[in-house]
């Protein structure tokens, strides 16, 4: 149901309808780790940073695990983010793993940004005036100066991230 590479390209994490998350080494094709997403529902999306793996589920919960070479430490959730009311269709880390974007295609304005070090959801954006509509795709530019958001209206919205413009 979802697959992603580690930032260094040496590992692949994937999940099927069983809700388990598997991590393989690309060179040896060996399974390095398997763990159950604590949410208990089917995994919809995965994202990796150098220190974390984010697991989005059909329930809307996004669990974030700290990792050591792709293996979740102690298989315990570092943070459960419960800000979406419908399935977490997309999760994506920015280039340095400081921001996690999560969204649902089934929820109008269903996009949240999480500050990973503090484990808190940004309350000041998006606002009710941000014209997101239903979010279908999100990605960060290579140095995170921008975040691009594609919606169901066929628009690509581009926003500058002030912190990364220095």
CA-to-CA distance for 101 and 73, rounded, in angstroms? 22
Higher pLDDT, 102 or 40: 102
**pLDDT digit string, tens, across residues 77-129:** 678 999 999 999 999 999 999 999 999 999 999 999 999 999 999 998 899 89
Residue 137's Cβ-count burial label (10 Å; 0-12, 13-18, 19+) is middle
Say how many CA atoms lie within 13 Å of 6 toward its Cβ: 20
Is 60 exceeded by the pLDDT of residue 28?
A: yes
At residue 56, the pLDDT reads 94
Which residues make Cβ contacts (< 8 Å) with residue 55, sequence separation at least 6? 15, 21, 37, 39, 43, 45, 46, 62, 63, 64, 65, 91
At residue 76, the pLDDT reads 60
Helix (H) or strand (E) holding 71: strand 71-72
At residue 35, the pLDDT reads 87
CA-to-CA distance for 89 and 135, rounded, in angstroms? 9
Length of the chain: 166
């Amino acid at each position: 149901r979802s697959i992603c590479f580690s930032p260094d390209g040496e590992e692949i994490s994937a999940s099927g309808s069983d809700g388990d998350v598997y991590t393989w080494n690309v060179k040896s094709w060996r399974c390095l780790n398997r763990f159950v997403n604590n949410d208990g529902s089917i995994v919809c999306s995965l994202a990796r940073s150098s220190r974390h793996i984010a697991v989005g589920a059909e329930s809307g919960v996004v669990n974030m695990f700290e990792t050591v070479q792709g293996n979740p430490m102690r298989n315990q959730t570092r943070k459960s983010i419960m800000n979406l009311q419908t399935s977490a269709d997309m999760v994506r880390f920015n280039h340095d793993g400081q921001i996690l974007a999560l969204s649902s295609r089934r929820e109008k304005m269903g996009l949240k940004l999480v500050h990973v070090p503090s484990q808190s959801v940004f309350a000041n954006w998006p606002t009710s005036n941000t014209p997101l509509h239903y979010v279908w795709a999100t990605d960060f530019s290579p140095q995170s100066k921008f975040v691009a958001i594609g919606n169901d209206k066929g628009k690509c919205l581009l926003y500058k991230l002030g912190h990364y413009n220095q």
